[in-house]
Chain A
Amino acid sequence: GDSVTQMEGPVTLSEEAFLTINCTYTATGYPSLFWYVQYPGEGLQLLLKATKADDKGSNKGFEATYRKETTSFHLEKGSVQVSDSAVYFCALSDLGGYNKLIFGAGTRLAVHP
Chain B
Amino acid sequence: KAGVTQTPRYLIKTRGQQVTLSCSPISGHRSVSWYQQTPGQGLQFLFEYFSETQRNKGNFPGRFSGRQFSNSRSEMNVSTLELGDSALYLCASSLEGGSNQPQHFGDGTRLSIL
Would you give the shortest CB distance from A39 to chain B, in whole angstroms? 10
Does more than half of chain B's interface fall in helix, strand or loop, or is it mixed? strand
The answer on a CB contact under 8 Å between B33 and A99 is yes
The answer on a CB contact under 8 Å between B42 and A99 is no
Interface size for chain A: under 10, 10 to 19, 20 to 34, or 35 or more residues?
Answer: 20 to 34
Say yes or no: A51-B100 contact (C-beta < 8 A), given A44-B105, A45-B105, A99-B48: yes
Q: How far is the CA of A80 from the CA of B48 in the complex (A)?
A: 35
Q: How far is the CA of A100 from the CA of B94 in the complex (A)?
A: 11
Cβ contacts B35-57/A at 8 Å (1 or 0 each): 10000001101001010000110
Interface size for chain B: under 10, 10 to 19, 20 to 34, or 35 or more residues?
Answer: 20 to 34
Residues of B within 8 A of A103 (CB): 42-43
Residues of A within 8 A of B106 (CB): 43
